[in-house]
Amino acid sequence: MPFSKFVVALTMIATLANMTGAFAAIGDPEELAPEQQSERVMIILRGIAGHYDGKDWPRGALYEEPALEYAKRLGYHGVVLDVAGWTGEHSEQVRSALKYIRSHGDVTAIYGFSGGGYNARVIWEHLSEAERDRVQTIIVVGSPGVDESDFDGKPQVFIQPDPPEGHMAGPKALLESLGAQPF
């Protein structure tokens, strides 16, 4: 039947046109127009899964509220990556964070707590020059041995050691360091 072949051909053309438009719209994250980047995002990396501070952390250690509030107070929308902070170049957190950063052109800050702080250093090493230019702020909390020099002299790097209250209190202590007024 010629009519059904015509309909199939039109359907295939429409499908190909939609797919081409979708791939063109994806592009590289750095190519997003400013009006498409509605807000700055701080990706927040959890620590290693385990039992800390009398609590089980199967998805990775992090008191989320202070970390999210810290991001908000600095003018970012905080996004907690829901992956435990097992460390290393091939860890799930590093792979997930790189994928997220590359697919979301609005990520301009990285916050790493504990194992996530070690992974922030690994992530930084794997970012392209354009991605590094986009990421303006790095925050590392409770990751001994990580320092500013690990981020190629990035001007807005803040490293916070564990506070006297203990390792898990790091995000809260960092938030409290801002005082009562927004930063």
In percent, how much of the chain has pLDDT > 70? Answer: 76
Q: What are the CA-CA distances from residue 140 to residues 45, 81, 127 (Å)?
A: 10, 15, 17
Q: Which two tokens stand for residue 71?
A: 């991001």
Strand intervals (E) in the chain: 41-45, 50-52, 55-57, 77-81, 107-113, 137-141, 157-160
CB-side neighbour CA atoms (13 Å) of 167: 16
What are the residue boundaries of the structural domains of the chain, listed by start? 39-176
State the CATH class of domain 39-176: alpha beta
- Amino acid found at 130: A
- Whether the model clears a pTM of 0.75, i.e. scores above it, the answer is yes
In which region does residue 155 sit, left (phi positive, over 0), alpha (psi from -120 to 50) or beta (all else)? alpha
pLDDT in tens, 139-162: 999 999 999 999 986 779 999 999
* pLDDT single digits (tens) 98-122: 999 999 999 999 999 999 999 999 9
Write the pLDDT tens digit of every residue in 60-82. 999 999 999 999 999 999 999 99
- Tokens 């916050």 label which residue? 111
Alpha carbon dihedral 183, 46, 129, 132, in 10-degree steps, equals: 0
Q: What confidence score (pLDDT) does residue 66 get?
A: 97
Mean pLDDT in residue range 93-100: 97
